Amino acid sequence: MNVLVFNVGSTTLKFALIDSNGGSRIHSGMYDRIGQDGGDAIDHVSAVNLVLNSLDRNQIDVIAHRVVHGGERFTGPTNVDSSVLESLAKLDHLAPLHNPAARRVVEALVGFGLPQTLVFDTAYYSTLEPEAYRYALPETLYQNHHVRRYGFHGTSHQWITRLAIEHIEEIERSQRVTSDRPPLKLVSLHLGGGCSATASLGGVAVDTSMGMTPLEGLVMASRCGDIDPAIVLHLIRDVGLTVEQVDNLLNKQSGLMGLCGDSDMRTVLSRRADGDPVAELAVKIYVRRIAKTIGGFIAMLGGIDGLIFSAGVGEHSCEIRSLVVGSLECFGARLDTAANDSLDRTNRINDISAATSRVKVLVIATDEELAIARQVS
């Protein structure tokens, strides 16, 4: 089956026509800076039309979409109909940078004559127990307004976690390790523009760093992650910012951008290497938040068998990987420095664990488009 996958970002549109059986890409590409001066398209729907004009419709069997927020209703791949679109529109406010654009793309393709399926980032976390997804807020906010942790980057975390389990189990089989071992305790890190961590037990998600929205958790490129909620009240009451200004500040002016004026980790690390103390502090805060999150997950899991790095920063920054793993040496994690510094990019999985490491440290190339295609085929 050939699946045309659309992965809509706030200002980007990634697409891939994938043979879901063999996993090969028949055609793929990306439109960037959508809606911006000098961008590739004036809006996401225009970008989709450019994609469709470049493809042979007869090659497409089904269209699949990555949607960031599925709320409590959407817990698995969902075929599109009018009821689904109506429910989807009600979730726009929960992921305002992503959901509205994705929904508009879906709506624009309703008349295209091909079935459409939605795959939600939040679906992987439908297995969370109430103690993991409930906030310490009045019960009525959960019952009437669905205020709870949902989690994000689920498609990526599910994909890399499955690959990690297969990799570790293959090693154990080759070493004739007994097959009745307890479920693997894994922590996966999706470190890109958005950053998240997920704890899994035997491939089932049990906790994650992002919350009701993708703003909670780790320090990100321009998002703040965890802060004291009273800061928001202070910004509105005492500083005089509007709700819209606070929203913009927390989502677009914070994180690395807020700490040092650059949202690109490559630039921040370059400044750090040149001795910039502001960039040095930004990296320390970024890594410290990751380490604290992993430590909490280890306590909750009762140990850790594997740590997975993925996405732009996770896959390409040997410095960040070294700093994070260095902070976890008390748990038995050790890096093979040579392997960490020179990944084999032809491999989907790179094992960068030292021989003495009690924790498997893996770098796994995420492939959200293939993961989505496999879910709908």
Least confident range from 173-182, 323-332, 368-377: namely: 173-182
78-79 and 116-120 beta bridge pairing: antiparallel
List the Cα angle 152/324/67 in 5-degree steps: 10
**316 marked ligand binding residue:** yes
pLDDT, residue 39, reads 86
- Cα end-to-end span (Å), the chain: 7
Least confident range from 6-10, 14-18, 117-121: namely: 6-10
Report the C-alpha gap between 102 and 89 in whole angstroms. 10
Q: How far from 94 is each of 34, 88, 133, 157, 221, CA to CA, in Å?
A: 21, 11, 16, 20, 19
* pLDDT tens per residue, range 277-314: 999 999 999 999 999 999 999 999 999 999 999 999 99
Report the C-alpha gap between 287 and 2 in whole angstroms. 40
Report the C-alpha gap between 121 and 80 in whole angstroms. 16
**238 marked ligand binding residue:** no
**107 marked ligand binding residue:** no
Amino acid identity, residue 56?
A: D
* Mean pLDDT on 317-342: 97
Report the C-alpha gap between 189 and 361 in whole angstroms. 11
Report the C-alpha gap between 189 and 217 in whole angstroms. 12
Residue 153's region, left for phi above 0, alpha for psi from -120 to 50, else beta, is left
pLDDT, residue 179, reads 64
* pLDDT tens per residue, range 100-135: 999 999 999 998 889 999 999 999 999 999 999 999
**193 marked ligand binding residue:** yes
Average pLDDT, the chain: 94
Report the C-alpha gap between 348 and 94 in whole angstroms. 33
Name the catalytic one among 40, 121, 207, 262: 121
Per DSSP, the residues of 289-349 read: HHHHHHHHHHHHHTS-SEEEEEHHHHHH-HHHHHHHHHTTGGGT--B-HHHHHS--TTSSE
Q: How far from 34 is each of 12, 17, 70, 240, CA to CA, in Å?
A: 6, 21, 24, 32
Count of CA atoms in the C-beta half-sphere (13 A) of 343: 25
**What's the pTM value of the predicted model, to 2 decimals?**
0.91
Cα pseudo-dihedral 193, 197, 200, 203, rounded to 10: 10
Per the CB < 8 A criterion, the answer to whether 224 and 159 are in contact is no
* Mean pLDDT on 171-179: 76
Q: Under DSSP, is residue 39 helix (H, G, I), strand (E, B) or coil?
A: coil
Which position has the higher pLDDT, 232 or 35? 232
117 forms beta bridges with 64, 79
Rg of the chain over all Cα atoms, to the nearest angstrom: 21
Catalytic annotation on 121? yes
Per the CB < 8 A criterion, the answer to whether 184 and 168 are in contact is yes
**190 marked ligand binding residue:** yes
Domains of the chain, CATH where assigned? 2-120 (3.30.420.40), 155-369 (3.30.420.40)
Report the C-alpha gap between 179 and 158 in whole angstroms. 22
Report the C-alpha gap between 16 and 14 in whole angstroms. 7
Does the structure show a pLDDT above 80 at 79? yes
